[in-house]
Amino acid sequence: MPAFSSPSVLRALHRQSLLLGALTLLLFIVGDIHQAAIGFDSRFVMFAKEMLRHGPSFFPTTYGEPYADYNATTTLFTWLLSLPFGEVNSLTAWLPTAIASSVIVTLIYRLVAPQSTTWALLSVALLLLSMTFITETRAVSLDQMLAAVSLGAFYLAYAHDHFEAPRRHFWLLLLLILGFAIRGPIGLVIPTGMLCSYFLLSGQWRRMISVGLQALVILLLCIGLLLFLAWVSGGQAFVQDVIRMQVTGRIDGSEGASGPFYYFTSSMGNYALAYPLAVLVLVVVLIAGRKPSSPALHLVKYCAAAGLIVMIGLSVPQAKKARYLLPMLPMAAIIAAYPFQGVRGRAFTALRVFIQAILLVLPALLIAGLIVASKRFADQLPPLNAIYIILGVLQVIALGLLFKAHVRAVGLGACAVLAMWSSYILVLEPAEQNAYNTRDFTLNALHLIDQSPAPLVLHGMGKDAKAIKFMVNVDRDLLPVFTQSAVELTALQAPVWIVMDRKDYQALQGTELGNIVPALTGQFDKNDFVLLHLP
């Protein structure tokens, strides 16, 4: 075996990878642990709150009823973490995703560092600079957890062939089951596809067929168990809902459709810098033509195949969202940083200079962006003095690293990562919290409702949409009435409390409800809402 795979070297690299994973985990969870749940997080926080009140179940629940689109696995993670606190907060909600992200960082380093620690650290840097990775890490993200599972399966197969690691076939199959438990059928198909692409390129036909058939059996067994648990939880009607929401709805596009090349084009922005740089590196590798094979180049090919199989596979279903493609990102980051492996050639030298130039000016670009944003959105942004100082210091350090050739690339990557994450945590995240906040209005509304108890009506909010953003802030069982039309409102029996968008309230002017003075007005999910009391 090559010298870099000697047991002593690998043990040292494994210790380094654990330290790197721990440091990044601290970065991923830093901040206020009592942030309000906003956006897509609201649904998962509501799942966990109901589970904390009623105990674990096979499927998460909303309004006390099982929810068909997800298994309860990730909700169970949050529930377990929340038990010591006695509440669901942003730390317990995000921690499973943050741990998954740190596992991805650890595995990338273990995969690449035996070739080159510089390549490994730049791979991690480019991963951490992807805005999709940042936003999904500081949220409840099933797709980020699936990315960790998929990379873990790929690593186990690669490590056995190249690092003299035990085969660990049992753990490989266990990861496939975990992927299904987290993300349903797609959670097993994606890591299986990545594994089969690796076995195919490495010439392990029998292993590919064997793992593929075992994965198929596991998939059928897991689907059978899923449908059985659905029947136990809600009967035949709920079984049909599970099939529609977890399988057919995503394939036929009934839950939103995009074109077949959506992932190949949108990833240029959604997964920058890693994805566009990976495409550029692959083009250079192809243009460079045949060269003596090396473990590093083989790893690039394996990563390219695994990433491509994910993109092609996910392009088949009509329903497409940027976050679904997260299992591809670690592969793209490894490929994008390949020029730092030390490969020779003018093209690769130019790529190294180009990537370092981007990393060098990133703090200054962020300062410029914040200056422009502060002029357009001054009332929506938090104070910027602290972030200007942080970015300025990082830019000075980055300039100083230009004269330190032995640490230049890694140092510039670290400065860029700290600049990007500082900007997100100190500026963008608070701005989003302020714009999409629903907690203040909800708590004020509940205070008034408790003073004069009566049924609550959520008008025009959607049981699975805006209503969840209201209910996520309610820390007790409450079953509201849902209405959609003015006719339904007029049929309500007083006394009653009604929450609605101000636009809907204005449309009622001239009617009995339209003449009621709102008991409360306020911002709710970036809109003006009112609370009416019909005594």
The model's pLDDT over 224-269, given as tens digits with 9 standing for 90+, comes to 999 999 999 999 999 999 999 888 776 765 555 678 899 999 999 9
Beta bridge partners of 523: 528
Residue pLDDT, tens place only, 58-111: 999 999 999 999 999 999 999 999 999 999 999 999 999 999 999 999 999 999
Count of CB atoms situated within 10 Å of the CB of 515: 9
User: SS3 for 450-497, per residue?
Assistant: HHCCCCEEEECCHHHHHHHHHHCCCCCCCCCEEECCHHHHHCCCCCEE
Q: How does DSSP classify residue 149?
A: H
Distance CA 71, CA 69 (A): 7
Please give the mean pLDDT across all residues of the chain: 94
Which H/E stretch holds residue 189? helix 185-201
User: Closest Cα partner for 193 from 232, 149, 237?
Assistant: 149
Which residue matches tokens 């350090």?
Answer: 397
Residue 1 has pLDDT above 50, yes or no: no
Please give the structure tokens belonging to residue 142: 């099933």
Collapsing DSSP to helix, strand or coil, 295 comes out as helix
pLDDT tens string 473-518: 999 999 999 999 999 998 999 899 999 999 999 999 988 889 999 9
Quote the tokens at residue 450. Answer: 């408790």
Cα gap 395→416, rounded to integer Å: 9
**Dihedral angle sign, alpha carbons of residues 111, 355, 148, 82:** positive
What pLDDT shows up at residue 167?
Answer: 86
The tokens for 343 are: 């490969």
Task: Output DSSP code: residue 270.
Answer: H
pLDDT tens digit string along 271-284?
Answer: 999 999 999 999 99
Q: Are 258 and 318 in contact (CB under 8 A)?
A: yes
Q: Is the pLDDT of residue 290 over 80?
A: no
User: What share of the chain has pLDDT > 70, as a percent?
Assistant: 97
d(CA 270, CA 172): 30
Residue of 275, 21, 28, 266 lying closest to 130 (CA atoms) = 275
CA 3 to mean position of chain CA atoms: 37
Element (H, E) at 393: helix 385-401
Residue 205, classified by CB atoms within 10 Å of its CB into exposed (0-12), middle (13-18) or buried (19+), is: exposed
CB-based contact 277:126 (threshold 8 Å): yes
Could you please report the per-residue DSSP string of 68-104? TTS-SHHHHHHHHHHTTTTS--HHHHHHHHHHHHHHH
pLDDT at 461: 95
Question: How much of the chain, in percent, has pLDDT values that exceed 90?
Answer: 87
DSSP state of 498: E
Residue 378 has pLDDT above 90, yes or no: no
Measure Cα distances from 182 to 40, 60, 80, 107, 297 in Å.
17, 12, 15, 19, 33
The pLDDT, as a whole number, for residue 260 is: 85
Query: Does the pLDDT of residue 292 top 80, yes or no?
Result: no
- What is the model's pTM? 0.96
- What pLDDT, on the 0 to 100 scale, is given for residue 293? 75
Confidence of residue 2 (pLDDT cuts 50, 70, 90): very low
Q: What is the pLDDT of residue 336?
A: 98
Please give the average per-residue pLDDT across 461-479, as a whole number. 94
Spans of all domains in the chain? 3-343, 362-435, 439-534
pLDDT, residue 317, reads 86
Q: Residues 95, 97, 103, 104: what is their CA dihedral angle, to the nearest 10 degrees? A: -150
Q: Is the pLDDT of residue 471 over 60?
A: yes
* CA distances to 137, 264, 392, 452, 458 from 154, in Å: 21, 22, 40, 59, 47
Q: Sign of torsion, CA 29 72 178 209?
A: negative
The tens digit of pLDDT for each residue in 19-53 reads 999 999 999 999 999 999 999 999 999 999 999 99
Residue 4's pLDDT is 52
Sheet with 456-459, edge to edge strand ranges: 481-483, 456-459, 496-501, 527-534, 520-524
The two three-digit tokens of residue 297, written as one number? 């180049």
- Cβ proximity of 28 and 102 under 8 Å: yes
Question: How many CB atoms lie under 10 A from the CB of residue 3?
Answer: 7
Sole residue written with tokens 């083989």: 298
> Rounded CA gap, 437 and 508, in Å?
26
Per-residue CA distances from 91 to 37, 94, 381 (Å): 11, 5, 23
CA atoms within 13 A on the CB side of 144: 28
Residue 517 neighbours by CB under 8 Å, 6+ apart = none
Q: What is the pLDDT of residue 206?
A: 95
The whole-angstrom separation of Cα 346 and Cα 105 is 30
Lowest mean pLDDT among 23-27, 95-99, 117-121, 339-343: 339-343
